[in-house]
Structure 1
Amino acid sequence: MEFSNSVFVLKECDDRESPRQRAFSFTLFWIQMYSLPPARMSTAVGKYLGIQVDKCLEVETDIIISLAGGNSFLIIVLMDIAKPL
């Protein structure tokens, strides 16, 4: 199955509410940033990059050693799925 440049998002519904009543326009995305210089691996830079995507919720600045051997960090954003990627 191909989802060319699309996001497929599922959300659990409560039995008491209809899907039409459920707010379904935002979802969480985890973005992992690779190969930034050590001086750029900061919360401030992570927040700036997260805001460029949508609403930045959290930046995990603990340096993670990736499988490729480089440094990386995580940005968690709340993204409007009605907007194009």
Structure 2
Amino acid sequence: MLSTKDRAETCKDQIRAFLASNFYIADADALESNTSLLDQGIVDSTGVLEVIGFIEETFGITVEDSELLPENLDSIQGIAQYVLRKQN
């Protein structure tokens, strides 16, 4: 069984791969985990819906309306932490 740290890294890798394949990112490997996806123009309001769909399909969780908060969806780190909280 993976440790929490390993699960977080695996989750971040999946999120980074999704973002790199669905949004324009010049260098996905250089994208810091805590960089704001909205502030950097990587994801817009429509893109947030795509991210939510990815989260629900990939990680088998439901994103509630009350959870549509920047701290949950605005960075790779935030998304990964949110997913791990929901899965526990």
- Same fold? TM cut 0.5: no
With normalisation by structure 1, the TM-score equals 0.29
With normalisation by structure 2, the TM-score equals 0.28
Higher normalized strand content (fraction of residues): 1
Higher normalized helix content (fraction of residues): 2
